Amino acid sequence: MPTPSMEDYIEQIYLLIENKGYARVSDIAESLSVHPSSVTKMVQKLDKDDYLIYERYRGLILTPKGRKVGKRLVYRHDLLEQFLRLIGVKEENIYEDVEGIEHHLSWDSIDRIGDIVQFLEEDSERINALKFIQQQNDKNEE
């Protein structure tokens, strides 16, 4: 299993390739706000662990293993954003909250959150009932 840091790189590389068709060290460094030398070290490690193929000065491509992990990591991130939005977390907190929790949840927990999202979205009355409870709780806090 990749470390949380490796996951961040794989996720970002996957997104760059999906959106731009390629991922260069400079693009990865910019998107993760790290130095290119740090990216090069991590890319070499990811290459060694068979998540990608890296050729110096030629770029990199994800292996099937890397694509599978990248796709799953993007799904996890998107699902957690969707869940927090659905339960009424303020928009300005969502990205930072997801970044803070995504590496600390098991895939079992992620799957259960997916079930909750599905449950809430299947019937808008469930979402309305949740919002009503939140409004009542907000009034009680004032």
- Give the number of other CB atoms < 10 A from CB of residue 7: 19
Annotated binding site for Mn(2+), which residues? 8, 11, 77, 99, 102-103
Backbone angles phi, psi at 44, to 5 degrees: -65, -40
Annotated binding site, which residues? 8, 11, 77, 99, 102-103
Q: What is the DSSP string of the chain?
A: ---HHHHHHHHHHHHHHHHHS---HHHHHHHHT--HHHHHHHHHHHHHTTSEEEETTTEEEE-HHHHHHHHHHHHHHHHHHHHHHHTT--HHHHHHHHHHHGGGS-HHHHHHHHHHHHHHHH-HHHHHHHHHHHHHHHHHH-
